[in-house]
Amino acid sequence: MADYDVIVIGCGPAGQKAAIKCTKVGRRTAIVDERQVVGGQCLHIGTIPSKTLRAAIIYLSGYYERRIYGADYKVKADLVASDLIYRCHAVMRREIDVIHDQLSRNRVDVLTGEGRFLDPYTIRVTDIVGTMDYTADYIVICTGSAAEIKQDLPFDNVHIMNTDDILKLQYIPQRLLLIGGGVIGLEYASMFSLLVPEVHVVTRHAQLLPWVDRQLVSALMNHMQRQGVAFHLADQLQDVCLHADDHVTGRLASGAPLVGDMLMYAAPRKGNTASLNLAAAGLQADDRGLLTVNENYQTSQPHIYAAGDVIGYPSLASAAIDQGRKAANHLLGVPDVPYEPIFPYGIYTFPDMSMVGASEEALKADNKPYATGIGHYRDSARGQIIGDHDGLIKLLFDPGSRLLLGAHIIGYEATELIHLAQAALLSGAKIDYFIDTVFNYPTLAEVYKIAALNGFNQLEAARPLEHL
């Protein structure tokens, strides 16, 4: 008999939910975590630290209060890196306790060490003490992703660092150079722009976030530029050098020199599979280290599943939670609802952005008719109270039936507000829902009503006049 019914490799959101689901129906389950404490990449280097750091920066910089109390307002006058990192560690400690309690309460065995395949049914776990081999009828790979290391950068993890090393931050720079214009790069660039007088974002891409609504991206760029961010699109930073006086220099491929006192590399991410010895299990990752799965999250070996960032898109903690649970349900033979493609995407830039459903670009590509309604935060009392004059909600809907097709939000708490649109989409609601529903006053939810009325009024104005 196998040591376990199920072994889960990786203790991030997907792994936690898969393991707990299996024990809830009586399966002997173990989870392998390479760290001495649980939590996975999401808790220790990714989502939780970066979003906590963002919250600390927004609060301590006093950004929203500046419109009321003046441009120089700060909660604390002389911020240092430890002010920011303190909050990260406090949140992480609490989250570790929560996860440990959940695993313990649900009788999941935690095997500490690095897991690798010996054969399709055997996992060797190696830690500082030695090795132990464990067998299982089913294995679920939830090892997440890791940042690539750019070999030609002189990393010292202090002045030149990877964004995965953010918890090692020792000082707040005055001039920040950031390589990478993807989600992670823009998140860090925007949050540091609240503290740093000069931020340079260098990306080889000609467009930022090409899959995001162009109006939202334009609003984000305008906001970041007002905060002192310079964008160098379709460019590369070359000849990077760390000097003895701790400043960093580089030269853009377009010719201009750049100087900073810190460089962050927002690396592309790869599936965290290099150490798994996949060949021994009869598996192979692609050139990005990602595993291919079917609709049930099975790999080419039917008893081996994979979920979370290790399978690529959408690479969201929120989606990983659902994927881990669905993988567990399938291997257990537990009925589950079909995969729901309507899920929100949150980008924690400053201001944050979130979207659900169709985009204008997708609707145009499919030649589908649509109409647009836009509501601005500044037109709501709540927007004035919190000092967000730039935020907006954009609704896309069918001009004939008025059915909601998509929603795109930029501004304060966009990642929270989006769920109202998600619920409306899943229930097949029309924009009339937002017009006819009474929302608390004053709230940002009212901006949905403003956007819906804007769209409805445009439809009415476009109708041909009827003969009296």
Residue extents of the structural domains in the chain: 4-147+270-332, 160-267, 351-461
**pLDDT value of residue 379:** 97
User: Domain 160-267 falls in which CATH fold?
Assistant: FAD/NAD(P)-binding domain (3.50.50)
The β-bridge relationship of strands 269-271 and 262-265 is: unpaired
Pairing outcome for strands 237-242 and 257-260: unpaired
What is the pLDDT at residue 467?
43
Residues 6+ apart with CB under 8 A from 93: none
pLDDT of residue 465: 54
Longest dimension (CA), the chain: 89
- pLDDT for position 279: 98
CA-to-CA distance for 457 and 445, rounded, in angstroms? 19
Domain 351-461 has CATH 1.10.3720.10: no
Q: Are 354 and 318 in contact (CB under 8 A)?
A: no
Can you point out the beta strands (E) in 68-157? Answer: 109-112, 114-119, 122-126, 131-141, 145-147
Structure tokens at 377: 């935060």
The whole-number pLDDT of residue 468 equals 41
Token pair for residue 35?
């760290």
CATH architecture of the domain 4-147+270-332 equals: 3-Layer(bba) Sandwich (3.50)
Q: Residue ranges of the chain with pLDDT lower than 70?
A: 1, 71, 464-468
State how far the Cα of 284 lies from the Cα of 273, in Å rounded to an integer: 9
Beta pairing class for 229-232 and 198-202: parallel
Ramachandran quadrant class, 234 (left: phi over 0; alpha: psi -120 to 50; beta: rest): left
Both tokens of 127, joined, read: 């830690």
DSSP per residue, 383-444:
HHHHT--S-EEEEEE-TTT-BEEEEEEESTTHHHHHHHHHHHHHTT-BTHHHHHS---SS-T
Report the 10 Å Cβ neighbour count for 424: 23
Q: What's the confidence (pLDDT) of residue 129?
A: 84
The pTM assigned to this predicted structure is: 0.92
CA 132/CA 192 separation, integer angstroms: 44
Domains 160-267 and 351-461 share a fold: no
> CA separation (Å) from 387 to 18, 67, 201, 417, 423?
42, 6, 26, 17, 27
- Supply φ then ψ for residue 274, to 5 degrees: -60, -35
Q: How far is CA 123 from CA 27, 28, 116, 216, 276, in A?
A: 18, 15, 5, 46, 9
Which residues, other chains included, contact 149 with Cβ-Cβ below 8 Å and sequence gap of 6+? 155, 162, 267
Contacts of 48 (CB under 8 A, 6+ apart): 39, 42, 88, 91, 92, 95
Rounded to whole angstroms, how far apart are CA atoms 326 and 339?
A: 8
Bridge partners, 7 (sequence order): 30, 139
CB neighbours of residue 88 within 10 Å: 20
What's the pLDDT at 389? 87
Tell me the per-residue pLDDT of 201-215, one tens digit each, with 9 for 90 and over: 999 999 999 999 999
